[in-house]
Amino acid sequence: MTDTASQQPTDLPPAWEPATVEAELYERWVDAGYFAPDPDSDAPPFCIVLPPPNVTGSLHMGHALDHTLMDALTRRRRMQGYATLWQPGMDHAGIATQNVVERELSREGKTRHDLGREAFVERVWEWKGEYGGRILGQMRRLGDGVDWSRDRFTMDEGLSKAVQTIFKRLYEDGLIYRAERIINWCPRCLTALSDIEVEYADDEGELVSIRYGEGDNSIVVATTRAETMLGDTAVAVHPDDERYKHLVGTEVELPLTGRRIPIVADEHVDPEFGTGAVKVTPAHDPNDFEIGRRHDLPNITVMDERANITAHGPFEGLDRFEARPAIVAALREQGRIVAEKRPYVHSVGHCSRCDTVVEPRLSLQWFVKVEPLAREAGNAVRDGRTTIHPADLSKRYFDWVDNMHDWCISRQLWWGHRIPVWYGPNDKVICVGPDEEPPSGEEWTQDPDVLDTWFSSALWPFSTLGWPDETAHLDKFYPNSVLVTGYDILFFWVVRMMMFGLYAMDGKQPFDNVYLHGLIRDAAGKKMSKSRGNVIDPLEWLDRFGADAVRFTLARGANPGSDMALAEEWAAGSRNFGNKLWNATRFALMNGATVASVVPPRDQLTDADRWILDLTDAVVSEVDGLFDDYQFAKLSDALYHFTWDELCDWYLEIAKVQIGEGGARADATRAVLGHVFDVVLRLLHPLVPFVTERLWTTLTGDESLVVAEWPKPTGAAADADAAQRIAGVQKLVTEVRRFRSDQGVKPGQRVKAKLVGVEDAGLGSLATAVSSLARLEAPGDSFTPSASIEVSLPGGHVHVELDLSGTVDLAAERKRLEKDLAVAEKELKGCDAKLNNPNFTDKAPTEVVAKIKGRREVAVADIARITARLEIFGG
Partner RNA sequence: GGGCGUAUAGCUCAGCGGAAGAGCACUCGGUUUACACCCGAGCGGUCGUAGGUUCGAUCCCUACUGCGCCCA
Q: Taking CB under 7 A as the criterion, which residues in 790-819 touch RNA?
A: 819
Instruction: Select the span of 103-111, 495-503, 580-588, 697-705 touching RNA (CB under 7 A).
Output: 580-588
Main-chain phi, psi angles of 662, to 5 degrees: 70, -175
Task: Tell me if 29 sits within 8 A of 78, measured CB to CB.
Answer: no
Count of CB atoms within 10 A of residue 131's CB?
13
Instruction: Select the span of 453-461, 744-752, 763-771, 781-789 touching RNA (CB under 7 A).
Output: 744-752
Cβ contacts of 445 within 8 Å, gap of 6 or more: 422, 423
Q: Rounded CA gap, 691 and 861, in Å?
A: 49
SS3 270: coil
Spatial strand order in the sheet of 251-253 = 251-253, 260-265, 234-237, 277-280
Query: What is the amino acid identity at position 482?
Result: V
Task: Tell me if 549 sits within 8 A of 562, measured CB to CB.
Answer: no
Phi-psi label, residue 83: left if phi above 0, alpha if psi -120 to 50, beta otherwise: beta
Q: Is 530 marked as a binding-site residue?
A: yes
Query: Judged by CB under 7 A, does residue 865 bind RNA?
Result: no
Number of residues that bind RNA (CB under 7 A): 77
Among 347, 782, 807, 836, binds RNA (CB under 7 A): 347
Q: Which is nearer to RNA, 369 or 855 (CB)?
A: 855
Query: What is the amino acid identity at position 101?
Result: V
Q: Which is nearer to RNA, 78 or 361 (CB)?
A: 361
Instruction: Select the span of 150-158, 163-171, 756-764, 831-839 touching RNA (CB under 7 A).
Output: 831-839
Distance of closest approach, residue 872 Cβ to RNA, in angstroms: 21
Q: Taking CB under 7 A as the criterion, which residues in 143-202 touch RNA?
A: 195-196, 200
Instruction: Select the span of 148-156, 516-524, 679-687, 777-785 touching RNA (CB under 7 A).
Output: 516-524
Q: Taking CB under 7 A as the criterion, which residues in 625-684 touch RNA?
A: 633-634, 637, 641, 644-645, 648-649, 652-653, 656
Q: Which is nearer to RNA, 139 or 770 (CB)?
A: 770
Peptide bond into 286 cis (omega under 30): no
Instruction: Tell me how far apart the terminal alpha carbons of the chain are, to the nearest angstrom.
Output: 65
Q: Which is nearer to RNA, 644 or 783 (CB)?
A: 644
Instruction: Select the span of 167-175, 436-444, 533-541, 833-841 touching RNA (CB under 7 A).
Output: 833-841
Query: Judged by CB under 7 A, does residue 746 bind RNA?
Result: yes
SS3 91: strand
Among 94, 378, 486, 578, binds RNA (CB under 7 A): 578
Among 314, 448, 525, 764, binds RNA (CB under 7 A): 525
Task: Tell me if 302 sits within 8 A of 311, measured CB to CB.
Answer: yes
Q: Taking CB under 7 A as the criterion, which residues in 534-573 touch RNA?
A: 557, 559, 562-565, 569-570, 572-573
Q: Rounded CA gap, 677 and 681, in Å?
A: 6
Q: Rounded CA gap, 232 and 803, in Å?
A: 98
Q: Which is nearer to RNA, 416 or 578 (CB)?
A: 578
Query: Judged by CB under 7 A, does residue 840 bind RNA?
Result: yes
Q: Which is nearer to RNA, 418 or 856 (CB)?
A: 856
Q: Taking CB under 7 A as the criterion, which residues in 703-742 touch RNA?
A: 734, 737-738, 740-742
Q: Rounded CA gap, 549 and 579, in Å?
A: 10
Tell me which residue of 267, 205, 264 sits closest to 240, measured CA to CA.
267
Query: What is the amino acid identity at position 477?
Result: F
Q: Taking CB under 7 A as the criterion, which residues in 202-221 touch RNA?
A: none
Query: What is the amino acid identity at position 849?
Result: V
Q: Taking CB under 7 A as the criterion, which residues in 747-766 touch RNA?
A: 747-748
Main-chain phi, psi angles of 862, to 5 degrees: -60, -40
Distance of CA 157 to CAs 125, 152, 153, 625, 692, Å? 13, 10, 9, 42, 40
Q: Which is nearer to RNA, 475 or 649 (CB)?
A: 649
Tell me which residue of 804, 796, 856, 851 sits closest to 829, measured CA to CA.
856
Task: Tell me if 841 sits within 8 A of 849, measured CB to CB.
Answer: yes
Q: Which is nearer to RNA, 38 or 818 (CB)?
A: 818
Among 258, 806, 845, 874, binds RNA (CB under 7 A): 845
Among 63, 75, 575, 665, binds RNA (CB under 7 A): 575
Q: Which is nearer to RNA, 74 or 743 (CB)?
A: 743
Main-chain phi, psi angles of 559, to 5 degrees: -90, 135
Q: Which is nearer to RNA, 531 or 839 (CB)?
A: 839
Among 101, 146, 331, 584, binds RNA (CB under 7 A): 584
Tell me which residue of 800, 808, 555, 599 sits closest to 714, measured CA to CA.
599
CA angle at residue 129 from 125 to 133, to 5 degrees?
A: 110
Distance of closest approach, residue 842 Cβ to RNA, in angstroms: 7
Query: Judged by CB under 7 A, does residue 245 bind RNA?
Result: no
Distance of closest approach, residue 196 Cβ to RNA, in angstroms: 6
Q: Taking CB under 7 A as the criterion, which residues in 5-24 touch RNA?
A: 14-17
Query: Judged by CB under 7 A, does residue 775 bind RNA?
Result: yes
Q: Rounded CA gap, 832 and 841, in Å?
A: 11
Q: Taking CB under 7 A as the criterion, which residues in 287-316 touch RNA?
A: none
The DSSP H or E segment spanning 737 is helix 720-742
Q: Which is nearer to RNA, 196 or 539 (CB)?
A: 196
Task: Tell me if 682 sits within 8 A of 710, measured CB to CB.
Answer: yes
DSSP state of 217: G
Distance of closest approach, residue 290 Cβ to RNA, in angstroms: 11
Tell me which residue of 366, 454, 350, 448 sits closest to 406, measured CA to CA.
366
Count of CB atoms within 10 A of residue 428's CB?
11
Q: Which is nearer to RNA, 38 or 649 (CB)?
A: 649
Distance of closest approach, residue 668 Cβ to RNA, in angstroms: 19
Tell me which residue of 61, 72, 26 sits closest to 570, measured CA to CA.
61
Distance of closest approach, residue 315 Cβ to RNA, in angstroms: 28
Q: Which is nearer to RNA, 648 or 808 (CB)?
A: 648
Q: Taking CB under 7 A as the criterion, which residues in 379-438 touch RNA?
A: 392, 395-396, 399, 403, 405
Among 106, 111, 334, 837, binds RNA (CB under 7 A): 837
Q: Which is nearer to RNA, 93 or 404 (CB)?
A: 404
Sign of CA dihedral 468, 471, 475, 477: negative
Cβ contacts of 641 within 8 Å, gap of 6 or more: none
Among 335, 601, 662, 744, binds RNA (CB under 7 A): 744
Q: Taking CB under 7 A as the criterion, which residues in 473-492 touch RNA?
A: 488, 491
Q: Taking CB under 7 A as the criterion, which residues in 434-463 touch RNA?
A: none
Distance of closest approach, residue 221 Cβ to RNA, in angstroms: 19
Instruction: Select the span of 370-378, 445-453, 493-501, 521-529 touching RNA (CB under 7 A).
Output: 521-529
Binding positions are: 530
Binding positions for ATP are: 530
